[in-house]
Amino acid sequence: MAFRTARNLAYFSNYIRNYSTNGPLVNVTVNEKSGFATATLQRPSVNSLNLELLTEISHTLQQLEKNKCRGLILTSASNKVFSAGLDLFELHKPNADKIKQMWSTLQEVWIKLYGSSYPTVAVVNGHAPAGGCMLALSCEYRVMLNNFIIGLNEAQIGFSAPMWLIDGMRNTIGSRQAEFALTAGTLFKTEEALKIGLVDEVAQSKEEAIEKAEKFLNKFAKIPPHARSMTKAALRGANIQALVRNKDEEVRSYVDFVTDSQFQDSLGEFIELNLKQKLSK
Ligand SMILES: CCCCCCCCCCCC/C=C/CC(=O)SCCNC(=O)CCNC(=O)[C@H](O)C(C)(C)COP(=O)(O)OP(=O)(O)OC[C@H]1O[C@@H](n2cnc3c(N)ncnc32)[C@H](O)[C@@H]1OP(=O)(O)O
**pLDDT tens by residue, the chain, 281 residues:** 234 344 444 445 544 444 444 579 999 999 999 999 999 999 999 999 999 999 999 999 999 999 989 999 999 999 999 999 999 999 999 999 999 999 999 999 999 999 999 999 999 999 999 999 999 999 999 999 999 999 999 998 888 999 999 999 999 999 999 999 999 999 999 999 999 999 999 999 999 999 999 999 999 999 999 999 999 999 999 999 999 999 999 999 999 999 999 999 988 988 998 886 544 43
**pLDDT score at 156:** 86
Judging by DSSP bridges, how do beta strands 201-203 and 141-145 pair with one another? parallel
Give me the residues paired with residue 189 across strands.
149
Residues involved in catalysis: 86, 131, 153-154
DSSP single-letter state for residue 278: P
Best mutation site among 41, 43, 45, 46 for ligand 1 pocket (most ligand atoms within 8 Å of CB): 46
**pLDDT score at 270:** 86
Distance 161 CA to ligand 1 centre (A): 14
184 vs 180: CA distance, rounded Å: 6
Q: What is the pTM of this model?
A: 0.92
**ipTM of the prediction greater than 0.95, yes or no:** no
Buried b (16+ CB within 10 A) or exposed e, 20-57: eeeebbbbbebeeeebbbbbbbbbeebbbbbbbbbbbb
Evaluate: CB of 254 within 6 angstroms of ligand 1: yes
In 161-207, DSSP assigns E strands to: 188-189, 201-203
Evaluate: CB of 127 within 6 angstroms of ligand 1: yes
Distance 259 CA to ligand 1 centre (A): 18
**pLDDT score at 157:** 81
**pLDDT score at 12:** 52
